[in-house]
Amino acid sequence: MVKAIATHLGSALIQAEAYANLEDLNQQLEALDRTRSNLIAITGHELRTPLSTIQVCLESLSTEPDMPAELRQVMLNTALSDSERMRKLVQDFLTLSNLESGRVEWHPESLTLKECIDLSLSRVNTRVVQEELPEITTDVAKKLPLVKADGDWLVEVLAKLIDNACKFTPSGGQIKISAHLNKQHMVEVTVADTGRGIEPNRLEVVFDRFYQEEGALRRTAGGTGLGLAICRQIVIGWGGEIWAKSLGKDQGSEFHFTIPVFEGSQGQKRSKVNSN
Ligand code: ADP
């Protein structure tokens, strides 16, 4: 009799566990569905806004042949910059989607971090619209070991963080790029600026897709809101971590990320970073 009750209780427990698992699965599927719908809504909105502007500009240009030359130029420039914004958005969106779904080929190699920093700095001038860049200094620890990462993606992360630091730091400010070997035996890179800073409760959401703080800078800064989400996927790809710290309002921000050390023969260097 006792044995029969125990068996009955056992199967009831298994059933209850199965229901709980099913419930859990259902909740996960619902959450996934909500994410998908949000993503479609946000992407649609982000694309519709520049598209509407382009349409208005082109309609005005085609229906008002006597439009003053100056105004015509303004219309053309607006249409061009909004189409560039759409191109960037689609490109970033595809990059992020490829990274998230594992459709990216990784080519890990041994790299000298200093070279990668120099290469990303040479790209900043061409990517940042600001007239006068803040002062940029570097402080890379001597005898830093080689790192193991995909060079092109590493330069992409560095360039993006430096771009952001430039965008959100007024001229006269400073940006410092530093690197050292941390306690976990990973190379830790920091991009610190003296710009507007990030609210403490925003330090994690800045890595979410399409997160952009509302305000005057939103459009003029010209970003897509996908840059940090892309950086996070890249860093996760080589087994590192990325996080942000705020130094207080208008005191600046710090972005940190880690890269594994290349455990091969010391001094060997095989830099295949694409310098184009
Ligand atoms: P984007 O720069 O294209 O807007 P990102 O994903 O690179 O998108 O950044 C998301 C948001 O995080 C920015 O819009 C900004 O609000 C905030 N942010 C990023 N970097 C900094 C920084 N160095 N200082 C202050 N805020 C920053």
Residue to mutate (ligand 1; options 86, 96, 164; most atoms within 8 A of CB): 164
Q: What is the pLDDT of residue 240?
A: 96
Q: What is the pLDDT of residue 236?
A: 95
Question: Which range, of 60-69, 134-143, 191-200, 261-270, averages the lowest pLDDT?
Answer: 261-270
Location of structure tokens 């080929």 = 105
Identify which has the larger pLDDT, 110 or 123: 110
Q: Does ipTM exceed 0.90? A: yes
Who's near 265: CB < 8 A, 6+ residues apart?
Answer: none
Band (248; pLDDT cuts 50, 70, 90): confident
Q: What is the pLDDT of residue 132?
A: 73
Q: What is the pLDDT of residue 185?
A: 94
Which atom from ligand 1 is nearest to the alpha carbon of 255?
Answer: 23
Handedness of CA 141, 236, 38, 205 (dihedral sign): negative
Amino acid at 186: M
Rounded Cα gap, residues 51 and 55, in angstroms: 6
pLDDT at residue 142 tops 60: yes
pTM listed for this prediction: 0.80
**Pick from 153, 178, 175, 160: nearest CA to 227:** 160
Q: What is the pLDDT of residue 218?
A: 46
pLDDT at residue 172 tops 90: no
Q: What is the pLDDT of residue 215?
A: 45
Identify which has the larger pLDDT, 7 or 106: 106
Identify which has the larger pLDDT, 270 or 264: 264
228 in ligand 1 pocket by Cβ < 6 Å? yes
Handedness of CA 202, 229, 162, 256 (dihedral sign): positive
Percent of the chain predicted with pLDDT > 70: 89
Residue to mutate (ligand 1; options 162, 168, 214, 246; most atoms within 8 A of CB): 168
Q: What is the pLDDT of residue 178?
A: 97
Residue to mutate (ligand 1; options 219, 228, 257; most atoms within 8 A of CB): 228
* pLDDT tens string 16-71: 787 778 888 888 888 778 777 777 777 788 888 889 999 999 999 999 989 999 99
- Coil vs helix vs strand at 189: strand
Rounded Cα gap, residues 26 and 7, in angstroms: 29
Q: What is the pLDDT of residue 274?
A: 53
The residue whose C-alpha atom lies closest to atom 19 belonging to ligand 1 is 164
Q: What is the pLDDT of residue 45?
A: 80
Rounded Cα gap, residues 142 and 7, in angstroms: 67
pLDDT at residue 211 tops 60: yes
Rounded Cα gap, residues 170 and 133, in angstroms: 8
Who's near 209: CB < 8 A, 6+ residues apart?
Answer: 39, 42, 96, 225, 226, 229
